C-alpha cells in the first residue's frame, strides 16, 4: 500500500510540467507570500537569476525593460497629479467667484437669476473637467498625456539650456 502511494506520488511529480506563464505566476505568488520585507541588492538579483539559469544578458534586458516601465509609470503619475492639481485650482476659482456672484445677485435682484446660469454652466464644465481628470485610460487620456509630456520635455530642455548658458557666463 505504501509502495503504491509512493509510486503514485512520484508518478504525479514526474508528469507535472508548467509553461512559462504558469512558472511566472507561481513564483510571483510565492515571492508575494514570503514574509520578507527586506530589499535585495543587484548582486542578489544576479545570483537568483543564475540559480534559475537566466543568462546575464537576458537579466540585463529584463531589468532595462523594467526600468523603462517604471519611468513611464512615474511620468503618468506625475501627469495625473498635474491634472488633479489643475482641477483643484479650477474648483477654487469656481467657489470664490460664485461665492461673490450669488450674494451680489441676491442683493441686486432679490432672487437668484443670472448668477444661477453662471453657476450651472460653469459647474457643468467643471464636472466634465473632473471626469477627465480622473480618467486614466482611453484615447483622450493618451492624447492629453502625450501633449503634456512633449510640453514637459520642452520646458526641461529650455531650463537645461539656460542653466548651461548661465553657468558658462558666471
Please tell me the pTM assigned to this model: 0.70
pLDDT tens digit sequence for 82-118: 999 999 999 999 999 999 999 999 999 999 999 999 9
pLDDT at position 9 is: 52
- Mean of pLDDT values over 41-59: 89
pLDDT at position 37 is: 65
Three-state SS across the chain?
CHHHHHHHHHHHHHHCCCCHHHHHHHHHHHHHHCCCCCCCCHHHHHHHHHHCCCCHHHHHHHHHHHHHHHHHHHHHHHHHHHHHHHHHHHHHHHHHHHHHHHHHHHHHHCCCCHHHHHHHHHHHHHHHHHHHHCCCCCHHHHHHHHHHHHHHHHHHHHHHHHHHHHHHCC
pLDDT tens digit sequence for 62-89: 999 999 999 999 999 999 999 999 999 9
pLDDT tens digit sequence for 145-169: 999 999 999 999 999 998 988 888 8
Percent pLDDT > 70 in the chain is 88
Whether the per-residue pLDDT at 5 is higher than 80: the answer is no
pLDDT at position 120 is: 96
Amino acid at each position: 500500500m505504501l509502495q503504491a502511494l509512493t509510486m503514485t506520488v512520484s508518478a504525479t511529480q514526474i508528469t507535472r510540467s508548467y509553461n512559462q506563464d504558469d512558472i511566472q505566476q507561481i513564483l510571483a505568488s510565492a515571492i508575494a507570500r514570503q514574509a520578507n520585507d527586506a530589499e535585495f541588492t543587484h548582486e542578489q538579483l544576479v545570483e537568483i537569476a543564475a540559480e534559475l539559469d537566466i543568462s546575464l544578458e537576458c537579466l540585463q534586458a529584463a531589468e532595462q525593460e523594467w526600468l523603462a516601465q517604471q519611468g513611464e509609470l512615474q511620468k503618468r503619475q506625475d501627469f495625473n497629479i498635474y491634472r488633479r492639481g489643475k482641477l483643484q485650482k479650477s474648483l477654487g476659482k469656481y467657489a470664490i467667484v460664485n461665492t461673490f456672484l450669488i450674494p451680489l445677485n441676491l442683493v441686486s435682484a432679490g432672487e437668484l437669476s443670472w448668477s444661477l446660469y453662471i453657476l450651472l454652466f460653469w459647474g457643468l464644465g467643471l464636472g466634465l473637467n473632473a471626469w477627465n481628470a480622473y480618467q486614466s485610460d482611453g484615447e483622450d487620456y493618451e492624447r492629453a498625456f502625450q501633449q503634456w509630456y512633449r510640453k514637459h520635455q520642452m520646458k526641461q530642455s529650455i531650463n537645461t539650456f539656460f542653466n548651461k548658458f548661465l553657468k558658462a557666463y558666471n
